[in-house]
Amino acid sequence: MSHIVVVGAGQAGSSLVVKLRNLGFDGNITLIGNEAVPPYQRPPLSKKYLLGEMEVERLYLRPEAFYAEQAITLRLGRNVEAIDPAGKTLTLDGETLAYDQLALTTGSLPRRLPAAIGGALAGVYTVRNLADVDAMAPEFTPGRRVLIVGGGYIGLEAAAVAAARGLKVTLVEAAERILQRVAAPETSGFFRELHASHGVTILEGTGLKALTGAGRVSGATLSDGREVEADFAIVGVGITPDTALAEAAGCAFDNGIATDAQGRTSVPGIWAAGDCASFPWKGGRIRLESVPNAIDQAEIVAANMLGTGVDYVARPWFWSDQYDVKLQIAGLNTGYDRIVTRRTDSAVSFWYYQGADLLAVDAMNDARAYMIAKRLIEAGKSPDPAAVADPGTDLKSLLG
């Protein structure tokens, strides 16, 4: 009987094995994860779970019993040490496991600060998995001081939670502005003002020279010579695809495990999906770090492992929750040269154009603008910027 093994028990891995069963695959399925818990949602970790508003069981994508009911073997808390593509086996904590097809959904790893600048001090945390958040949760006591390194979405979400819990928050961003890598100045400005209104101190264009402390972090020296006191620190300086296992097995690397449009790697019998995988996109390659991509790409790979032969066509969208603001992003803004702002009494959205072409939208508490923009982008339609900016325009009319 055919055996499909999936390495990486996150959103992509869970989606892939469930899709295999839904498509009628009746062979053996094994899902391997290096955490001791079943696959779970990651976005709530830095929001509702850290705030104490969500129990751990509600994080689980499905109850553990579901996998047994579907005859999906979970191997949790296990580490894959090596893959032998020629023999179609992998080594799992010293055990050899044979496969017929293998999917890698290994996700990504947080970038950490070097030990030389204090990255190994106690009280320094990253936000990536359940253990990370469980470890830092006791630090969130009102009145304590937290230093957040990095002004991307992870850092800003952590800042929002800390401020909401009554902590004194200082966030440092080495770039000229927060969200510089991923958003327009208008979006950066919106969130700068939002955080300032909640008492967060944001220092832009300010790098971290070193975290300081004897054994445990007690502060930091910044690039401008300033000294900041801190009871603990959170590092949110990006993630990197987890590709070591794939590369050791001979899989080509190109900003992640390089796959073709259907999810195959360069090694026969091995597929990849999710944060760890890059795929063809508009004449180049792209790697998307998002839950929707992890689900959609994994489900396409599952179908293609069964012989469907369908190309993956990404429809990028993302979201972030900070305080009472929900940011929803449709499309990719790469190459934009113009921002069109649409404001109503309760919401604002920023529309990214390249020439006359609509590329992406950032919508703050404006689900209607987000949904309309998403449909426009997916249909390849670009509305008149003047109509978009006019608050009197019925957005639905733009679909016509």
Please report the DSSP string for 24-67 in residue order. T--SEEEEE-SSSS--B-SGGGGTTTTTT-S-HHHHBSS-HHHH
**Domain harbouring 364, CATH code:** 3.30.390.30
Residues 101 and 250 grouped into a single domain: yes
Residues 336 and 391 grouped into a single domain: yes
Count of structural domains within the chain: 3
**Domain harbouring 154, CATH code:** 3.50.50.60
Q: What is the pLDDT of residue 242?
A: 97
Q: Residue 7 belongs to what H/E stretch?
A: strand 3-7
Please tell me the chain's helix, strand, coil percentages from 3-state DSSP, rounded to the nearest 5.
25, 30, 40
Residues 224 and 116 grouped into a single domain: yes
Residues 117 and 203 grouped into a single domain: yes
Claim: this prediction has a pTM higher than 0.85: yes
Question: Which pairing describes strands 80-84 and 232-235: parallel, antiparallel, or unpaired?
Answer: unpaired
With b for 16 or more beta-carbon neighbours within 10 A and e for fewer, the 141-158 pattern comes to eeebbbbbbbbbbbbbbb
Residues 101 and 117 grouped into a single domain: no
Domain that holds residue 65: 3-109+240-305
Kindly list the distances between the CA atom of residue 222 and the CA atoms of 58, 147, 170, 205, in Å, as whole numbers in the listed order. Answer: 39, 11, 12, 10
Q: What is the pLDDT of residue 400?
A: 82
Residues 117 and 222 grouped into a single domain: yes
In a domain, 312, yes or no: no
Question: Which residue, of 235, 254, 270, is where some domain finishes?
Answer: 235
Q: Residue 259 in 3-state DSSP?
A: coil
Angle value at C-alpha 80, between 75 and 81, nearest 5 degrees: 155
In a domain, 311, yes or no: no
In a domain, 314, yes or no: no
In a domain, 157, yes or no: yes
Question: Which residue, of 186, 217, 235, is where some domain finishes?
Answer: 235
Residues 340 and 384 grouped into a single domain: yes
Q: What is the pLDDT of residue 34?
A: 96
Position 127: which residue type? V
Residues 24 and 97 grouped into a single domain: yes
Q: What is the pLDDT of residue 50?
A: 87
Residues 276 and 338 grouped into a single domain: no
Phi, then psi, of 208 in degrees rounded to 5: -95, 120
pLDDT in tens for each of the 400 residues of the chain? 799 999 999 999 999 999 999 999 999 999 999 999 999 999 888 888 988 889 999 999 999 999 999 999 999 999 999 999 999 999 998 899 999 999 999 999 999 999 999 999 999 999 989 999 999 999 999 999 999 999 999 999 999 999 999 999 999 999 999 999 999 999 999 999 999 999 999 999 999 999 999 999 999 999 999 999 999 999 999 999 999 999 999 999 999 999 999 999 999 999 999 999 999 998 999 999 999 999 999 999 999 999 999 999 999 999 999 999 999 999 999 999 999 999 988 899 999 999 999 999 999 999 999 999 999 999 999 999 999 999 999 999 999 8
Neighbours of 58 (CB within 10 A): 12
200 vs 203: CA distance, rounded Å = 10
Question: Which residue, of 214, 235, 256, is where some domain finishes?
Answer: 235
